[in-house]
Amino acid sequence: MLTRTVLSAAFVSFALAACGGGHAEKPPEPVPNPPAAAPVLPLHFAECSIGEEGSPAAALTLHADGKIEVGGKVVGSITAEGKLLAADGTEAAAIDNEGNVRAIGKDDVLAKIDADGTLHAGDKTVRIEADGKVSGTNPAAKPLMVSSTCTAEPHAATMFVLVLATMPAATPPPPGPTSAPAPTPPK
């Protein structure tokens, strides 16, 4: 009997210790979730010129209505919903709310753009600085500048146009082997 009493007392002591000694304790504070990334969409536009530093002429202009102009000619437009439209109105590329830029019909992400306009492409990070200089581009090329009229704006729309303008155009694959008949040996 004594053994049963000792075991019961030991079990009760162990149970009380495991449960906090009979005292109600405050539950641990929940760990907050990290803040979600700011949404990229809708895109915001400002009259914005992009060109080489020191060049009097803009290579590209993004108008406040989303139209994209190169050399005085409208070549396309972007929408607040993140679609790049060619001059004929066909959709060519899109940016989603997380900032992923994709060509239409392709699953590959060409680049990622944060809500503040920071571009991530491969191991490169490109930004539009407060003075309008585009940092993080090819150091061997002339630096790019963005006009002062759009340096205070969120840069996601400007960077979306810039990344698409600087992406190499798709080139068709080289022709495969031809099925020309083998030459006949001379007689």
At residue 169 the predicted structure's pLDDT band, cuts being 50, 70 and 90, is low
Give 12-58 pLDDT, tens digit per residue: 333 333 344 445 566 666 656 555 667 888 888 888 999 999 888 88
- Average the pLDDT over 80-98 and give the result: 93
Q: Is the entire prediction scored with pTM above 0.75?
A: no
Q: What local confidence, expressed as pLDDT, does residue 20 receive? A: 46
- Measured between alpha carbons, how far is 157 from 41 in angstroms, rounded to an integer? 9
At residue 165 the predicted structure's pLDDT band, cuts being 50, 70 and 90, is confident
Q: What string of H, E and C letters represents the secondary structure of 145-171?
A: EECHHHCCCCCHHHHHHHHHHHCCCCC
Listed by start position, the domains of the chain span: 48-166
